[in-house]
Amino acid sequence: MNESGIPTVSAPVDFAPKGRSPWRDARLRFQRNRAAVASVVVLMIIALACVFGPMLLPNAYDSVDWDLMSHPPTRANWHLFGTDELGRDLLVRTLIGGRVSLMVGALATLVSVSIGVVWGAVAGFAGGRVDSLMMRIVDMAYAVPYLLIAILVVTIFGRDILLVVAAIAAFSWLDMARVVRGQTLSIKSREYVEAARAIGVPTWRIIFQHVVPNLMGVVVIYTSILVPGVILTESVLSFLGLGVQEPMTSWGVLIHDGAAVMGASPWMILFPAGALSITLYCANFIGDGLRDALDPKER
Amino acid sequence: MSDAPATKVLEVKDLSVQFRTNDGAVYAVNHVDFELGRGQTLGIVGESGSGKSQTVLAMMGLLARNGSASGQVLHHGRNLLGLSPTALNAIRGDRIAMIFQDPMTSLNPYLTVERQMTEVLELHRGMGRRAARLRAIEALDAVKIPDARRRIDFYPHEFSGGMRQRVMIAMALLCEPELLIADEPTTALDATVQAQITVLLRELQRDFGTAILMITHDLGVVAGLCDDVMVMYGGRVMEHASADDIFHRPSHPYTRGLLAALPRLDDTSAKLVSIPGNPPNMNELPPGCPFSARCRYVQDRCVTTMPLLQRRDVASTALRACHRSVAELDAMEASDA
């Protein structure tokens, strides 16, 4: 603006956007999907509650309320989800259990995605004998009965949360590796990969600079499918008594304990099972939204 | 052909390419010779499957896994065939650059143009990101991308086809290569953009003295850009002569057919002409001239023996591979008309 109040044209404002990445387009499409956005919000609330809830609530996850044992939900002493048969507050235990379940889910997913992407991308890009060898290893790992191995591992090394993570990750990267390899095979034949070779980019750099970013759509989608699976697996292991050690707990453990007294005190299974179900629903909705947003056919 | 150049950037001697397939070996390129001096332009012309693309892919070590090349590709006397991948990577993109047919797919959609351009400089020049960026902006300016300083941060999908091909050219020229291989650089673009790109290549060649190897099936591009032209068919060189000779004194039936098939805007009465028949099946080539099956002037020995690539006459540098003499062809064509 100059003194006369008329906007001058001599100093144009730069409205030009910074380059719009394909990721930004995907984000915009995702934001238009209401169910997915709502699921993100709900999941965030659950995660925040699990992280901060136990700090704000007066009860500890392992302290016993001698007056209120196996009590249904009540406002007394903040037992909003009731108490278990030892008089421990179920709300705090559900939140603490959520911490464990979500952490195991996140950690195991991270590990298996990392291994799966690298393994699949290298196998797919290298092709030939390297590819055959790497994928046969995957096939062999598939043939191993993982529950049996998990039981063995936990029996031998004791119950340790990191062991649970390792046991889950050791098997869940296999699918990721296969999916990534398939995708790499198709990306490998794209012209920009040939163009990269023609400008003298070394192979390892082509894989990580040019192939992996183009895999990310598929990886993100597949991860969103993987997360609920991993959380569920943790619950299965815990339900079988292979998860975390008492008094520490997880959703799977709580459901296991609640199932035993389901007839007399249904709240003991309803709340943790509800939390798990809602989380899994949200994860699946988010996965759905991501799939629509990143659909490779749209590109 | 023009006079022997003072400095030869590239000499290709007896280059052959074959592919192992389930139907047996396919000989995609057979005994191709040519050389290219500084600032020269050679056009390789031919229809799909004539072996023109495989010729340059073999030179660059980019053949598919089941392909193998024999012969020599000498870059300043060093044979590129059989170099280690590391040694090849040092040359590719630096001394010899390549641009591809489809600019829509030869840029990585998930990386900004800046990232893709600076990568070349980081690899070959060891430049830092900031210096590389400035150099990349210069290169984009050189190919006349308006507002390069801002556009360099865009992703490929935000450029039009012609712009993307300009980006590809700018990328190829970043290290000021001696040789630019252009594999049908204008095929995927519309006519006005084609003309712009052709002009651009000519200007860049004038400014940088880059030799260009232009693969195309567009004779208009050839006329506008090339000094020499090599006409290929069925993996063999049919004719190799100066652009002038090719356009005004074509000496091979196939070249003549190609030229006759060019639509003429100035002649409204003309109907569209084509060469009868189909491109050859590379699995079942005759022992003789690959064009014999479609040639109007075919004789028995064409089918059984491959004519040698020979000088058109003693005075000329033009090479042709045909059993019939030019005089013979002229006479037969005259009696046809």
Q: How many residues does chain A have?
A: 299
- Sequential DSSP letters for B137-181: HHHHHHTT-TTHHHHTTS-GGGS-HHHHHHHHHHHHHTT--SEEE
* Model pLDDT, residue A12: 44
Q: DSSP assignment, residue B265?
A: S
Residue with the larger pLDDT of the pair B194 and B79: B79
Beta bridge partners of B211: B179
Q: DSSP assignment, residue B8?
A: E
Region A109-127 average pLDDT: 90
* Model pLDDT, residue A295: 66
Which residues have C-beta within 8 Å of that of residue B124, sequence separation ≥ 6?
Answer: A200, B90, B93, B94, B175
* Model pLDDT, residue B41: 92
B229 at interface of A, judged by CB pairs closer than 8 A:
no
Work out the minimum CA distance from B185 to partner chain A, whole angstroms: 13
Pairing of strands B211-216, B41-45: parallel
* Model pLDDT, residue B267: 67
pLDDT, tens digit, 9 for 90 and up, residues B231-262: 999 889 999 999 989 998 899 999 998 888 87
CA distance B301 to B322: 11
Tell me which residues of chain B, numbers 164 to 203, contact chain A at a CB-CB cutoff of 8 Å.
168, 171-172
* Model pLDDT, residue A115: 93
Is A43's pLDDT higher than 80?
yes
Cis bond leading into B85, ω under 30°? no
* Model pLDDT, residue B211: 92
Of A22, A194, A196, the CB nearest to B110: A22
Region B190-200 average pLDDT: 82
Question: Residue B62: which of A47, A276, A122, A197 has the closest Cα?
Answer: A197
Burial call B187-217: b when 16+ CB within 10 Å, e when fewer: ebbeeebbebbbebbeebbeeeebbbbbbbb
Cα dihedral A100/A47/A252/A55 (nearest 10) = 60
Work out the minimum CA distance from A207 to partner chain B, whole angstroms: 12
Backbone angles phi, psi at A9, to 5 degrees: -95, -5
Contact at 8 Å (CB) between A9 and A2?
no
Residue with the larger pLDDT of the pair B1 and B232: B232
* Model pLDDT, residue B240: 93
Contact at 8 Å (CB) between A249 and A88?
no
Beta bridge partners of B233: B236
Count Cβ atoms within 10 A of the Cβ of residue A176 and give its class: 0-12 exposed, 13-18 middle, 19 or more buried.
buried
Kindly report which listed range (A231-235, A263-267, B265-269) carries the lowest average pLDDT score: B265-269
Region B270-280 average pLDDT: 76
User: CA distances (Å), B240 to each of A230, B27, B29, B198, B324, in order?
Assistant: 65, 20, 15, 22, 16
CA distance A220 to B214: 41
Is A236's pLDDT higher than 90?
no
| CA nearest to A191 within chain B | B106
B58 at interface of A, judged by CB pairs closer than 8 A:
no
Read off the pLDDT band of B1 (50, 70, 90): very low
* Model pLDDT, residue A88: 80
B74 at interface of A, judged by CB pairs closer than 8 A:
no
Work out the minimum CA distance from A16 to partner chain B, whole angstroms: 8
Q: How many C-alpha atoms does B279 have within 13 Å on its Cβ side?
A: 12
| CA nearest to A187 within chain B | B108
Of B62, B110, B158, the CB nearest to A197: B62
Count Cβ atoms within 10 A of the Cβ of residue A71 and give its class: 0-12 exposed, 13-18 middle, 19 or more buried.
buried
Q: How many CB pairs under 8 A join A and B?
A: 92
- Give the DSSP H/E element, type plus range, for residue B25: strand B24-37
Pairing of strands B78-79, B96-99: unpaired
Is B29's pLDDT higher than 70?
yes
* Model pLDDT, residue B137: 93
Beta bridge partners of B89: none
* Model pLDDT, residue B104: 78
Pairing of strands B228-233, B310-311: unpaired
Is A17's pLDDT higher than 80?
no
Work out the minimum CA distance from B229 to partner chain A, whole angstroms: 24
Region A32-47 average pLDDT: 88
Backbone angles phi, psi at B229, to 5 degrees: -135, 135
